Structure 1
Amino acid sequence: GLDKLVAKGKLPAEERDALAARITVAPSLDALAGAGLVVEAIVEKLEVKRQVFAALDEIVAPDAILASNTSSLSITAIAAGLKHP
């Protein structure tokens, strides 16, 4: 997405590089341990989202905000059964 912004002249290439350098790829959700904010953006399947949120519920800070990028699923259904819905 950053490359498209540069191509359209909406973002200088230097800023793209600086932004890209701030992105870290992690092999597991464990990298989010203690996080205060997580925005989920995965496939639109309720069970998959529920599994991810259940895993996150175990490792993020108790007062963390868990947000979803869902466009069609009920956030109440996604958060059902979590310790901190």
Structure 2
Amino acid sequence: MDRSEILALMNTVMVKRGRAEITDETVTTRVANFRSLDFSEVALRIETKVGEELAFDAASMRQIETVKDVLDFFAEITRKAA
């Protein structure tokens, strides 16, 4: 999946939870109000879209601080899954 598709899924989750859409990749996930539960829901939506389970470890997730990091993370693991 490309970054724009991933951001669209993130924004779907944000709107579903009554939060503002993310427009700036440079903000921290905290400032964007993007929480761990949101991350999990996006991961599940990506798995459904690509048709397979994503493999990632907690250590790599701990390095995520910005929206850009989230997009990079999902773009990389979906590339590996392809």
Q: TM-score range by the shorter chain?
A: under 0.3
- TM-score with structure 2 length normalisation? 0.26
Structure with more contact order per residue of length (Cα contacts < 8 Å, sep ≥ 6): 2
| Structure with bigger gyration radius | 1
More helix by share: 2
